[in-house]
Structure 1
Amino acid sequence: MAYVVVGCEFLVAVVFGWAAASKLRTASSFRDFTDSIARLRIVPFRLSAAVSVGTVGTEAAVPLALGAALFGLTPAVGLGLALLMLLGFIVMIALAMRKGTAVPCPCFGASATPLGWRHIVRNLLLSAIAGAALLGQLLPQTPVDLVLAAIAAVAGSAVALVFVLFDDVVELFTLRPPARRTGAGI
């Protein structure tokens, strides 16, 4: 169980670290994120910049809090913070869908895919992973082998890419007829 917890912790840390980094990559990236928050019309326009700063700051805090475990501190704080953020994201996406607001998901950088059910599913899965790791942290801990823990960390980090690239993965496995081509010579 300890290795599953380690893998889940690294998965959560990579997902949240990637999310924060993608929004802070350039000034334009952050502006685009702030604009998307305003277009959601869930918070008053005047608060969209503050919500953007708070969101990115909290996303960046999650991997830092999880990394504090390397110094003997509990990763439960980072996991709890991640869980709260994910649940908040689920509510925000549901509200946007209810309003019929079709704003692209700025979760991991620029995207053309509007927030929708796939993002709720992704965040529910991530919530389950963060919750399982948090529960694992609350159970009695057994000593871990560092080599096996490193393997679990690499595996968790690799699986995190599925969540970071979730829109692409869904598109890859969504069965749709090929786009109809028109024009001369085709």
Structure 2
Amino acid sequence: MPSFMKLASFLAAAGLAVANTVTFKSLDDTARTIVFTPNSGMSAIDTITVPGGQDATVEFPHGWIGNWYAVSDGADNVPGMLGEVAFNGWNDVTFFDVSAIVNPNDHNGVKEMWPAKGETPTSGCTVFPCNNAYYIWDDVQTKATSEQDLICTLGSGTLTRRNVEKDESSPSFKRDFINGRWTR
């Protein structure tokens, strides 16, 4: 076996071969603190600050499930619009959505999410409300991708992306499917 293959096998066995990431992109001049909430049994992720108009990338452990929200500089730490993710789920798929369940009035924090390379499907809105976010428990809005790298926009403004149209034909999934409690 070539030495590269041995190294790749070793890294995969150690869980280091593929990192899961989310790149947070600020669309305005407001600095925001990102607060992470892991699901039970998942590793804690330290809060980060994303300066206004800049990007910050966070690495997540293999199989991490949880969410995050953004707190604008000077605002109270109150959960708002959530970015939710389940990395390396069934068949190594990444499931994600933008959720308005906790605070649908947060229009300054998490806005949209999408796979970094494929750029579709997209969850969330440039202007809330829209029909592409998760509003009620068991809503059919969770998106799926084979990528492990996501983009999450923050704040007011838009981000120019290449070759992207809202892909309303992309499959969405009920929460029970992601949690393994689906019925036929």
Range class of TM-score, shorter chain: under 0.3
Structure label with greater radius of gyration: 1
* Higher relative contact order structure (alpha carbons within 8 Å, sequence separation ≥ 6): 1
TM-score (norm 1): 0.27
| TM-score, length basis structure 2 | 0.27
Question: Which structure has more helix as a fraction of its residues?
Answer: 1
